[in-house]
Amino acid sequence: MTKKVLKFGGTSVGSIQRIAHAAKIVKKEHDTGNKVIVVVSAMAGTTNNLVAHSQSISKKFNKRELDVLLTSGEQVTSALMAGALNDLGVKAKSWMNWQIPILTEGDHTNARIINMNVEGINNYLSNDGVAIIPGFQGVSKSGDITSIGRGGSDATAVAIAKIFQTDSCEIYTDVDGVYSSDPNKIPLAKKIDKISYEEMLELSSLGAKVMQSSAVQTAMMNDIPIQVKSTFTDRKGTEINSQENIDYSKAVTGVAYSKDDVKITLLGVDDKPGVAADIFEPLSKDQINVDMVIQNISADGKKTDLTFTTKRQDSKNATSLIKNNKKIKYEKMHMNDKVSKISIVGAGMVATPGITYKMFRSLAEEKINILAISTSEIKISVIIEEKLTIDAVKKLHKTFNLD
Residue 249 lies in a domain: no
Residue 14 resides in a domain: yes
* 10 and 141 both lie in a single domain: yes
Is residue 375 domain-shared with residue 262, that is, in the same domain?
yes
Same domain, 261 and 169: no
- Which residue among 139, 157, 174 closes a domain? 174
Last residue of a domain, one of 142, 174, 206: 174
Encode 387-401: b = buried (16+ Cβ within 10 Å), e = exposed.
Answer: ebbeebbbbbbebbe
**Same domain as 129, residue 7:** yes
Instruction: Assess whether 278 and 144 both reside in one domain.
Output: no
Per-residue pLDDT tens digits for 135-150: 999 999 999 999 998 7
* Same domain for 124 and 7: yes
pLDDT beyond 90 at 376: no
Identify whether 250 is part of a domain: no
Cis peptide before 101 (omega within 30 of 0): yes
| Mean pLDDT along residues 114-138 | 97
pLDDT at position 208 is 67
Give domain status of residue 48, yes or no: yes
Residues 142 and 273 in one domain: no
161 and 20 within one domain: yes
Assigned domain for 144 exists: yes
Q: Which string of DSSP letters, residue by residue, matches 250-299?
A: SS--EEEEEEEEEEEEEEEEE--TTHHHHHHHHHHHTT-----EEEEE-T
Mean pLDDT score across all residues of the chain:
92
Task: Give the predicted TM-score (pTM) of the model.
Answer: 0.82
Number of domains in the chain: 2
Boundary-marking domain end, from 149, 174, 199:
174
Q: What is the pLDDT of residues 175-197, one digit of tens each?
A: 889 998 888 888 888 899 999 99
Q: What is the pLDDT of residue 243?
A: 72
Domain co-membership, 160 together with 263: no
On whether residue 230 sits in a domain, the answer given is no
Domain harbouring 377, CATH code:
3.30.2130.10
Backbone angles phi, psi at 226, to 5 degrees: -125, 140
pLDDT tens digit sequence for 202-245:
888 776 677 888 889 889 999 999 999 999 998 899 999 887 66
Containing domain of residue 278, as a range? 255-399
Cα separation, 117 vs 124, whole angstroms: 13
Express each pLDDT in 82-116 by its tens digit: 999 999 999 999 999 999 999 999 999 989 999 99
- Is residue 193 one of the residues assigned to a domain? no
Supply the CATH number for residue 169's domain: 3.40.1160.10
Is 249 a residue whose pLDDT tops 80?
Answer: no
Shared domain for 137 and 271, answered yes or no, is: no
Question: With 70 as the cut, is the pLDDT of residue 68 above it?
Answer: yes
Look at residue 348 and give its three-state secondary structure. helix
**53 lies in some domain:** yes
Q: Does one domain contain both 159 and 283?
A: no
Q: Exposed, middle or buried: residue 109 (CB in 10 Å: 0-12, 13-18, 19+)? A: middle
Residues 394, 266: Cα–Cα separation, whole Å:
32
Instruction: Tell whether 273 and 166 lie within a shared domain.
Output: no
Nearest-angstrom CA–CA distance, 74 and 152: 11
